[in-house]
Amino acid sequence: MATWGHLGFQDSASPLMEQLIFFHDHTMVVLILITTFVGYMMAAMFPNAFVNRFLLENQTIEVIWTILPAIILIFIALPSLRLLYLLDEVNNPSITLKTIGHQWYWSYEYSDFLQVEFDSYMTPSNELDLSGFRLLDVDNRTVLPMNTQVRMLVTAADVIHSWTVPALGVKADAIPGRLNQISFMVNRPGLFFGQCSEICGANHSFMPIVVESVSVSAFLNWISSSSDL
Amino acid sequence: MAEPEKETKLLGRNLSQIPCFRETFLYSISSGLAAGLINFMLTSRVQRSAHLAFGVYGCVTIGYWSFCRYNFAKEKFNMGRLQNAMQKQALYEGTDMEKEIKRKD
């Protein structure tokens, strides 16, 4: 989860997020190269006292500094397009979860087999445990099985919200009257946090999302115990 | 439990955890330095040696990074397939599916 002074991505919990981080690292190396090259050129020119009185229309250098950036951009574009199409690949989800954004909480519906529905409100700071995460913990977490393809259908009941979990690399706007579909797979157990990402009123900052990833057997136990309530 | 190795962090990312990053910059910086030094010893031209050092650094960075990441991606893909096969093997062991797969092989 995000902690104080956290500048980069959170550790990935999904294969797609892992690929996004790899692409980020690759692009960052290219950018480091370009920046150091430009910095070096500037440093090399500072002590240069010569002035070229006939500096006009040098075709060779113009060609070089057009072709070279194009080649560098190809190095960035090819992994980018691969990732873009990878994110939209068709897969067969094993479980469908519906989430509805309200002012100011999320409600979840697991309607695949047993009708399980619950609301997820942020735990107020004055009711928080000493070990709790302020403004991130919720009363009912979204439990999902590990290593299982999940289909999320996101919508809203009143105004536009946005459901996101950065560690899974997913974000989808929750728009009233519209169903947005996202697909992901959590490949390790744990708690993954997110926050509403579309301004939705006074308590927009106080409707977090917590995904609890557990083993398939633990998930089935939880689902059967939840449906009894 | 304390971390035995000191983590190198830049902008919140642990650089040692980025695949191929450490090797790429180790090789590129050292080869750039070596090329620049050798060129200076042979020609005694400071500026040209510096340009050469930087050029070699840039080329080795982008070349080794692409090569290393490509191999990493291939290995990762193969490991995933192997893992998948091992999981399926445990699932199918002792069943008719296993007999069918062995017959096909």
Q: Give the model confidence (pLDDT) of A132-156 as tens digits.
A: 999 999 999 999 999 999 999 999 9
Residues B13-35, mean pLDDT to the nearest whole number: 89
Query: For the complex shown, is ipTM > 0.90?
Result: no
Give tens-digit pLDDT for A187-214.
999 999 999 999 999 999 999 999 999 9
Averaged pLDDT, B87-92: 77
A5/B contact by beta carbon, under 8 A: yes
Mark yes or no for CB contact A44/B47 under 8 Å: yes
Question: Percent of chain A, pLDDT > 70?
Answer: 99
What phi and psi values does residue A31 have, to the nearest 5 degrees?
-65, -40
A25: nearest CA partner in chain B: B18
Across residues A50-77, what is the average pLDDT? 88
Mutate to test the interface with A, among B45, B69, B74, B83 (most CBs of A within 10 A): B69
Contact state of A44 with B13 under an 8 Å Cβ cutoff = no
pLDDT of res. B97: 73
The per-residue pLDDT for B4 is 58
Closest C-alpha to A181, from A170, A169, A190, A165:
A170
CA distance A97 to chain B (A): 26
Choose between B71 and B91: higher pLDDT. Answer: B71
pLDDT at B2 over 60: no
Q: Which residues contact B48 (CB under 8 A, 6 or more apart)?
A: B39
Give the pLDDT confidence score for residue A204 in this predicted structure. 95
Question: pLDDT category, B105, cuts 50, 70, 90?
Answer: low
For residue A22, the chain B residues in CB contact (below 8 A) are 19, 69
Residue of A182 and A115 predicted with greater confidence = A182
Average pLDDT, chain A: 92
Give the residue from B27, B65, B76, B84 with the most A CB atoms within 10 Å of its CB, the best one to mutate.
B65
Give the mean pLDDT of B72-76: 90
Whether residues A37 and B18 touch (CB distance < 8 A) is answered with no
Residues sharing a CB contact under 8 Å with residue A145, sequence separation 6 or more, in sequence order: A94, A95, A213, A214, A215, A216, A219, A220
CB A184 within 8 A of CB A167: no
Q: In whole angstroms, what is the distance from residue B35 CA to residue B39 CA? A: 6
Quick one: pLDDT band at residue B5, thresholds 50, 70, 90?
Answer: low
**Who among B11, B18, B21 is closest to A7 (CB)?**
B11
Q: Distances from the Cα of A19 to the Cαs of A85, B69, B77, in angstroms? A: 12, 12, 12
Q: What is the arithmetic mean of pLDDT over B49-66?
A: 93
What are the structural domains of chain A?
15-88 (1.10.287.90), 95-227 (2.60.40.420)
Nearest by CB to residue A29, choosing from B50, B54, B65, is B65
What digits encode the pLDDT tens for the residues A78-125?
999 999 999 988 888 999 999 999 999 999 999 887 789 999 999 999
Q: B12 CB near a chain A CB, below 8 Å?
A: yes
Q: Which residues of B touch A36 (CB under 8 A)?
A: 54, 58
